[in-house]
């Protein structure tokens, strides 16, 4: 045995992770079900570091120094279960199995329980940054026991992205906590992307700007508090020309947004936890609508009357409206993060995880898709204890949203007036206004519920649970 860590599954992600490990002084055992991938990695990258290739799972396990650490990077779902069980059959108590694929956190909780019962450690580890991140430094969110973290820490810190010198990895919490936080990361990613897309639509259709001009705007925005990976790549995407037609590539790409499920999981989980993640939910639904081909074609055929999206602004008004969009984007983005962190806090209570939110914000500063300058501010807000209930309550973000507010309202109002859909801008603003409201119309809903279902209600002026005999003569109220 000579390898201090092993990787099972050498497709795009696994091969990149194995190479990253080797680049940082680890001796890396490698195994893939189909030998060809192992051979290809050795042929093309075998000289990049110390690899120990194996062609059976037994040889792979034997090549690992105890306590063994095996990282699984195979297809999510059934194949991951098969591989976990096959490894557990061959490994010894105290060994560590890491699932670095995209797993749904209840699966991770189940797997952790099963593997722990067999005396081994199971770590569900969220990995963000795609193939390039896996190779050059991802952001990683490991769950599992504190004991397994002690072994994994130096290995994962060696390959993680660095943000201001700090490795973008931290022990998130027990069992499924790591995959949970990775899931919410992806949910926030959905809303970040949709907000950028709504901003683009407002400039393209609303202001009649070219893709190239809008690319320039995003390039400028990337020098502001919006500085982030997604804004940066958006500028590149918009500047790209199609080689065959000479048109902006964005005009040639079919407008059906795909998804692989993590956004949906984030929303489903939020619904069952009772946490409003309206921005993330609208972002998932917007992708859903984009891909409803028959529905969209039907709507085109019916040719609904309505505004065409053109805002008809003067040159001067256009400039200030672009600034409005920038402020609206920032405010809505803050709301999406506030909602995402609320989901984490609520889940932590539900599942008994101790999650350091400031540490989560810090490891998202590098390597991952939502990496952004303002995560430093989020980390500070949680560290100060001022964001415990909501990120929006921290003075920095309270002020930011107050300053953006007038712009945000103009953007949502104009978009509605001229017929450009802005589901995440609008729902984030509604969430903010819902929070601000002294009284909500929920009182009326309670009245309706009590009327048709005798669901009872509480009063503002006295303790107790009440029911009104709404439809009856004299409408008596009874203390239920
Ligand atoms: P894929 O999801 O395409 O999976 C292919 C790998 O799984 C191959 O190594 C394949 O082996 C192996 N595999 C499939 N079925 C089995 C099985 N029954 N038994 C053993 N091995 C099996 O690979 P990716 O590299 O794209 O992703 C790996 C994991 O990482 C997934 O869970 C994915 O969700 C996650 N992930 C992916 C990201 C990305 O950007 N792609 C980002 C973050 C996470 P073989 O060669 O023999 O077919």
18 lines ligand 1 (CB under 6 A): no
Active-site annotation holds for 48:
no
* 230 pLDDT higher than 80: yes
Alpha carbon distance 27, 416 (integer Å): 58
User: Residue 259 has what pLDDT?
Assistant: 95
Neighbours of 469 (CB within 10 A): 14
**Dist. CA 81 → ligand 1 center (Å):** 12
Half-sphere exposure of 9 (CA within 13 A, CB side): 21
Size of the chain, expressed as the number of residues it contains:
480
84 lines ligand 1 (CB under 6 A): no
Q: What is the mean pLDDT of the chain?
A: 97
Render 380-410 in DSSP notation, one character per residue: HHHHTTTTSS-GGGSHHHHHHHHHHHHHHHH
User: Residue 341 has what pLDDT?
Assistant: 98
Task: Return the residue whose CA atom lies nearest to atom 6 of ligand 1.
Answer: 74
Catalytic residue among 112, 182, 198, 333: 182
Alpha carbon distance 197, 287 (integer Å): 11
User: Residue 480 has what pLDDT?
Assistant: 73
ipTM above 0.95, yes or no: yes
User: Residue 477 has what pLDDT?
Assistant: 76
pLDDT band at 467 (very low <50, low <70, confident <90, very high): very high
Distances (CA, A) of 326 to 333, 336, 407: 11, 15, 8
Alpha carbon distance 287, 431 (integer Å): 21
480 and 473 Cβ atoms separated by less than 8 Å? no
pLDDT band at 471 (very low <50, low <70, confident <90, very high): confident
pLDDT band at 458 (very low <50, low <70, confident <90, very high): very high
pLDDT digits (tens, 9 = 90+) for 157-167: 999 999 999 99
Neighbours of 452 (CB within 10 A): 9
Ligand 1: which of 7, 12, 13, 38 to mutate, most ligand atoms within 8 Å of CB? 13
* 476 pLDDT higher than 80: no
User: Residue 62 has what pLDDT?
Assistant: 98
Active-site annotation holds for 182:
yes
User: Residue 478 has what pLDDT?
Assistant: 78
101 lines ligand 1 (CB under 6 A): yes
pLDDT band at 479 (very low <50, low <70, confident <90, very high): confident
347 lines ligand 1 (CB under 6 A): no
pLDDT band at 417 (very low <50, low <70, confident <90, very high): very high
SS3 261: coil
pLDDT digits (tens, 9 = 90+) for 334-371: 999 999 999 999 999 999 999 999 999 999 999 999 99
Render 53-69 in DSSP notation, one character per residue: E-SSHHHHHHTBPSSPE
**Dist. CA 27 → ligand 1 center (Å):** 22
pLDDT digits (tens, 9 = 90+) for 91-134: 999 999 999 999 999 999 999 999 999 999 999 999 999 999 99
- With CA atoms as reference, report the closest residue to 129 among 102, 96, 148: 102
The torsion angles phi and psi of 377, rounded to 5 degrees, stand at: -65, -40
406 is annotated as contributing to ligand binding: no
9 lines ligand 1 (CB under 6 A): yes
Alpha carbon distance 236, 160 (integer Å): 25
Q: Which atom of ligand 1 is nearest to the CA of 10?
A: 9
- Six-digit token string for 356: 């350091």
The torsion angles phi and psi of 463, rounded to 5 degrees, stand at: -70, 160
**Dist. CA 346 → ligand 1 center (Å):** 31
Instruction: Give the angle 287-292-295 at the CA atoms, nearest 5°.
Output: 135
* 17 pLDDT higher than 90: yes
Average confidence (pLDDT) over 437-457 = 97
79 lines ligand 1 (CB under 6 A): yes
* 195 pLDDT higher than 80: yes
**Dist. CA 74 → ligand 1 center (Å):** 3
Provide CB contacts within 8 A for 281, sequence distance 6+: 267, 270, 427
Q: What residues are paired with 162 via a beta bridge? A: 167
Task: Return the residue whose CA atom lies nearest to atom 39 of ligand 1.
Answer: 130
* 236 pLDDT higher than 80: yes
- Residue 268's H or E segment, with its range, is helix 262-273
Alpha carbon distance 127, 138 (integer Å): 6
The torsion angles phi and psi of 169, rounded to 5 degrees, stand at: -155, 140
Looking at the chain, the whole-number percentage of residues with pLDDT higher than 70 is 100
10 lines ligand 1 (CB under 6 A): yes
**Dist. CA 9 → ligand 1 center (Å):** 6
- Higher-scoring residue by pLDDT: 200, 478: 200
176 and 112 Cβ atoms separated by less than 8 Å? yes
User: Residue 472 has what pLDDT?
Assistant: 81
The β-bridge relationship of strands 96-99 and 139-142 is unpaired
143 and 198 Cβ atoms separated by less than 8 Å? no
Edge-to-edge strands of the sheet including 121-128?
50-53, 27-31, 5-8, 69-72, 96-99, 121-128, 139-142
SS3 24: coil
* 475 pLDDT higher than 90: no
């Amino acid at each position: 045995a000579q390898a201090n860590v092993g990787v099972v599954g050498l497709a795009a992600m696994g091969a990149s992770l194995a190479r990253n490990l080797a680049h940082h002084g680890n001796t890396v055992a490698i195994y893939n079900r189909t030998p060809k991938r192992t051979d290809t990695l050795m042929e093309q990258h075998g000289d990049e570091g110390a690899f120990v290739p194996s062609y059976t799972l037994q040889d792979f396990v034997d090549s690992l120094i105890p306590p063994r650490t095996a990282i699984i990077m195979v297809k999510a779902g059934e194949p991951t279960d098969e591989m976990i069980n096959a490894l557990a059959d061959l490994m010894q108590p105290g060994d560590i199995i890491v699932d670095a694929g995209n797993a749904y956190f209840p699966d991770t909780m189940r797997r952790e329980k099963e593997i722990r019962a067999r005396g081994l450690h199971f770590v569900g580890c969220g990995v963000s940054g795609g193939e390039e991140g896996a190779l050059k430094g991802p952001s990683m969110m490991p769950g599992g026991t504190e004991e397994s973290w002690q072994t994994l820490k130096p290995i994962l810190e060696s390959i993680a992205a660095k943000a201001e010198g700090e490795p973008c990895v931290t022990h998130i919490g027990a069992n499924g906590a790591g995959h949970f936080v990775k899931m919410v990361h992806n949910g926030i990613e959905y809303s970040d992307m949709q907000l950028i897309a709504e901003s683009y639509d407002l400039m393209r259709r609303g202001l009649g700007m070219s893709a190239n001009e809008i690319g320039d705007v995003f390039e400028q925005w990337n020098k502001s508090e919006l500085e982030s990976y997604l804004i940066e790549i958006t500028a590149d995407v918009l500047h790209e020309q199609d080689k065959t037609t000479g048109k902006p590539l964005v005009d040639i790409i079919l407008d059906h947004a795909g998804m692989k499920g993590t956004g949906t999981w984030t929303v489903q989980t939020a619904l069952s936890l009772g946490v409003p993640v309206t921005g993330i939910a609208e972002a998932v639904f917007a992708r859903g609508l984009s891909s409803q081909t028959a529905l969209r074609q039907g709507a085109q055929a019916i040719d609904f009357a309505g505004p065409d999206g053109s805002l008809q602004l003067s040159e001067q008004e256009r400039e200030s409206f672009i600034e409005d969009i920038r402020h609206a984007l920032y405010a809505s983005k803050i709301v999406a993060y506030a909602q995402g962190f609320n989901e984490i806090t609520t889940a932590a209570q539900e599942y008994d995880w101790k999650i350091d939110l400031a540490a989560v914000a810090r490891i998202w500063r590098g390597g991952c898709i939502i990496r952004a300058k303002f995560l430093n501010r989020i980390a500070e807000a949680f560290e100060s204890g001022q964001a415990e209930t909501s990120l929006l309550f921290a003075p920095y973000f309270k002020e930011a949203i107050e300053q953006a507010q007038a712009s945000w309202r103009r953007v949502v109002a104009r978009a509605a007036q001229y017929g450009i859909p802005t589901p995440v801008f609008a729902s984030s603003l509604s969430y903010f206004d819902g929070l601000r409201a002294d009284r909500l119309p929920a009182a009326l809903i309670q009245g309706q519920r009590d009327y048709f279902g005798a669901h009872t209600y509480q009063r503002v002026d006295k303790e107790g649970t009440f029911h009104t005999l709404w439809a009856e003569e004299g409408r008596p109220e009874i203390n239920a």
